[in-house]
Structure 1
Amino acid sequence: MNDLAFEKGFVALDPLKFRDPDITAKGEARATVALERLDTLWINTGTLCNITCVNCYIESSPTNDRLAYITAAEARAYLYEIAELGLPTAEIGFTGGEPFMNPDMLEMLEDALSRGFRALVLTNAMQPMQRPPVRAGLLRLRETYGDRLVMRVSLDHYTAELHEQERGAKTFDKTLAGLDWLAENGFSVAIAGRSVWGEPEPVARAGYAALFAERGWPIDADDRTALVIFPEMDARVDVPEITTACWGILDLSPNAMMCATSRMVVKRRGAAALTVLPCTLLPYDDAFGMGATLAESLAADGGMFSRGAVKLCHPHCAKFCVLGGGSCAPE
């Protein structure tokens, strides 16, 4: 029984939805996604953030420490495990909260980059990133590792009005200042936008393109890796459950889902050990814990998993990934 599927106010019109890990409310076989290969390992650096966004997927804020700061030593253990298991992981992603609030962030980046991984950082590019010691550290990493370090900056809309509707007053210009600094210093930069306003995607991309040109940022608004526009999860809208038949109906492959190529590590406050999860969207749901190590996650069985395969028994699985086409990892 996955009662935690209803956190953050998700209420299916049919109360039997997302309850049974194997069978939908209509009695059909629930879809699963096997790990094809571990391309990206996400490290959640902690849920503390310098701002509070209206629609934050994991409710990060200046006071939410449900996910504690992970340490460099704890993150390093997973890098060692990747090598020990011979996994084909090419990228380490860092998300939060705001990653640059974690005091070990620069050390964790260096650990990943020095071992040959690409590093992707999801940041709001505001004050935590713009502190002089952080800037100095980032410049050194940029000089040493070049484009293997990618900064994906959250710019929810290309206008100040709508960006600040989501992120709060006086956030737009501060984010632009951070992006200006990154562009001026030759960092590889991507942008993460939001579709919360229902704007047609071509209109949104054109708006971002105009802003990029105005600021002189070398970002291609038509490149879906350089500008990612994330789908929204509206708690007021009922979502269908995903069955095994949906792959054919929707002409989708399970291998296209985020959980086919990535996992995330979190440090839940007060927990005895870290937890591996199938994706970045379910940090608090105990039902989706896959163990404390990557090896345990590969063999997870029972409940929401079948020998490491993920059963799509959460509204996010349907709304964000299968129907919304969302993914936190680059395509």
Structure 2
Amino acid sequence: MQKNSKSILVTGCAGFIGFHLTKRLLDEGFYVIGIDNMNDYYDTTLKYDRLKMVMNHPRFQFVKGSIENMELLENLFCWYDFDTVVNLAAQPGVRYSLENPHKYIQSNIVGFANILECCKKHKIPHLIYASSSSVYGNNKKIPFSVTDRVDNPISLYAATKKANELMAYTYSHLYHLPTTGLRFFTVYGPWGRPDMALFKFANAIVKQQPIEIYNYGNMKRDFTYIDDITESILRLINKEPSPESPYKIYNIGNNQPVQLNDFIQVLEKHLGKKAIKKLLPIQPGDVPETFADIDELVKDIDYKPQVSIEEGIEKFVEWFKDYYKISE
């Protein structure tokens, strides 16, 4: 493989998307400096096991710390000459934001402001950062387009992600810092987050425990497989940002919403077990449907997410059974 001399900073490198991106970048020949605070929002064993997969790679350097620590970030930006910064560090989760709002302000607002300041000061050629499909709130227009107004977030998590986009716009406008925001749509796959529906459902079905299905199963989600996410980010890293348009936002979704009940049916098939269903009303902060318009993404990077639910869930179940030593 041809060596790539580019250095990439990946924040949240032990997280679900951060780990997969780090691994892919290393496979592609990049140098990767990863930072993660290894917080206990979910089982840290999973985070450390992800890290083990890349820790000994000769082109990977890990830093344990938080993007809220400006002194640490300043040192990192002085030590390394980053070609691209990919900010995936954030406090995720819609429901958790109802219980712990300050965690979201610290990580998603203060931390992101630190990233922006460091990128500005050190003249980073490109900042790519995670936004979320949550910014669309109760958007009535389907599919969700990046040109839609997103002024009505219905969770604090969504509000912090919208704030990130506004902050990035300001830095692009004032300092000509090229920024690209990615509105991810329900990412799933091997090494996924235990607080996400697929992981929780699989765990409960295997243990023959009830699964909680909100909105009585009448939810639709634009489930997006992790490899489609990393391929899209890789192409954006390799694409020179336009000096005329330094601020960009993209949806990254599968462009094919799936009914939650159908999603569970595919999971049952691959696990070989039936779910015990507990039907519940919609939760505060949840939206009934997500559906990504990805025309802009396809036009700019010539790639359309393509992994089907059938294929994606099968790969997740293979990993899940292997990781947790689950026999038939």
Q: TM-score, normalized by length of structure 2?
A: 0.34
Structure with higher helix content: 2
- Structure of greater relative contact order (alpha carbons < 8 Å, 6+ residues apart): 1
